């Protein structure tokens, strides 16, 4: 009975297995090298495409000749102008002086006697529309403040008020002539109308009327109060 010698067979096989394993190792290394080469080639191709795109884009941008520095300079100048405009709108000082200083006159006077701030007729834009005498203030609150007075904002005048208003207008005309200024500079129509309706008889209540600031109260207050008081006496009599 033939029995193979197990140790001999194992030795023979061991040689083949070693040879096979060596071949396998070499193949693995070759595959690794090939993979490495492939990935390197892929990376190189990628960066080549990126470089080309970058160059093309650069050429396109150069063709347009975008001057980023100039754009930035322009933007800053525009922002500065906007800021100056806001300062002009909110200034409590003389507006003429503000404009003159803006255009490079450092010696501009601080008062001109002609702008709304110098004349003390500034409408406080932050306070919104002033309350109307017709009780429309609630519906008007929050509306865009206007410098001009809308006709519906004028007080409602009775016949007696109309007569008083005519006398106030006469006084205004005289003062305007004396001071050599336009009538509205003394007091605007609306302020006279409110005086004719509310008929203040002392400086404190006259000062509460819209358009009568401390400067004008001091300047014209007494003369207007004279007219207003005389009506009061007439009505009482
Ligand atoms: Zn002024």
Any idea what the CATH number is for the domain that residue 183 is in? 1.10.150.80
Residues with CB in 5 Å of ion ligand 1: 94, 96, 112, 115, 118
Is the residue at 13 inside a domain?
Answer: no
**Same domain assignment for residues 158 and 232:** yes
State residue 107's pLDDT score.
85
**Same domain assignment for residues 159 and 207:** yes
Is the residue at 128 inside a domain?
Answer: no
Is the residue at 220 inside a domain?
Answer: yes
State residue 229's pLDDT score.
92
State residue 160's pLDDT score.
75
State residue 171's pLDDT score.
95
Q: Report the C-alpha gap between 126 and 141 in whole angstroms.
A: 11
3-state helix, strand, coil in the chain (%, to 5): 70, 0, 30
Q: Report the C-alpha gap between 169 and 109 in whole angstroms.
A: 32
State residue 153's pLDDT score.
60
Burial annotation 172-208 (CB, 10 A radius, 16+ → b, else e) = beebbeeeeeebebbbbbbbbbbbbbbbbeeeeebee
Cα-to-centroid distance, 16 and ligand 1 (Å): 111
Encode pLDDT of 61-109 as tens digits: 777 777 889 999 999 999 999 999 989 988 888 999 999 988 888 888 8
Cα-to-centroid distance, 223 and ligand 1 (Å): 24
Overall domain count for the chain: 2
Is the residue at 215 inside a domain?
Answer: yes
CA angle 90, 92, 94 (to 5 degrees): 110
Is the residue at 207 inside a domain?
Answer: yes
Cα-to-centroid distance, 194 and ligand 1 (Å): 25
Encode pLDDT of 171-191 as tens digits: 999 999 998 888 888 998 889
Domain containing 103 equals: 73-118
**Same domain assignment for residues 170 and 95:** no
Is the residue at 86 inside a domain?
Answer: yes
State residue 169's pLDDT score.
93
**Same domain assignment for residues 166 and 90:** no
State residue 98's pLDDT score.
92
Is the residue at 67 inside a domain?
Answer: no
Give pLDDT < 50 ranges for the chain. 126-149
State residue 187's pLDDT score.
92
State residue 129's pLDDT score.
43
């Amino acid at each position: 009975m033939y029995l193979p010698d197990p140790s001999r067979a194992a030795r023979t096989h061991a040689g083949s297995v070693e040879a096979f394993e060596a071949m396998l190792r070499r193949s693995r290394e070759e595959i690794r090298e090939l993979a490495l080469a492939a990935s390197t080639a892929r990376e190189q191709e990628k960066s080549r495409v990126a470089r080309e795109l970058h160059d093309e884009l650069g050429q396109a941008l150069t063709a347009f000749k975008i001057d980023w520095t100039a754009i930035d300079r322009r933007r800053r100048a525009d922002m500065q102008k906007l800021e100056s405009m806001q300062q002009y709108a909110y200034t409590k000082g003389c507006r003429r002086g503000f404009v003159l200083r803006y255009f490079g006159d450092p010696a501009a006077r601080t008062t001109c006697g002609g702008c709304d701030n110098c004349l003390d007729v500034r409408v406080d834009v932050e306070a919104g529309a002033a309350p109307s005498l017709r009780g429309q203030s609630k519906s008007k609150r929050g509306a865009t403040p206007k410098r001009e007075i809308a006709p519906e904002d004028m007080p409602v005048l009775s016949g007696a008020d109309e007569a008083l208003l005519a006398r106030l207008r006469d006084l205004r005309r005289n003062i305007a002539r004396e001071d050599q200024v336009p009538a509205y500079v003394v007091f605007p129509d609306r302020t006279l109308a409110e005086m004719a309706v509310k008929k203040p008889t002392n400086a404190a209540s006259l000062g509460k009327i819209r358009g009568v600031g401390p400067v004008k109260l001091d300047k014209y207050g007494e003369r207007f109060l004279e007219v207003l008081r005389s009506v009061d006496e007439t009505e009482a009599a």
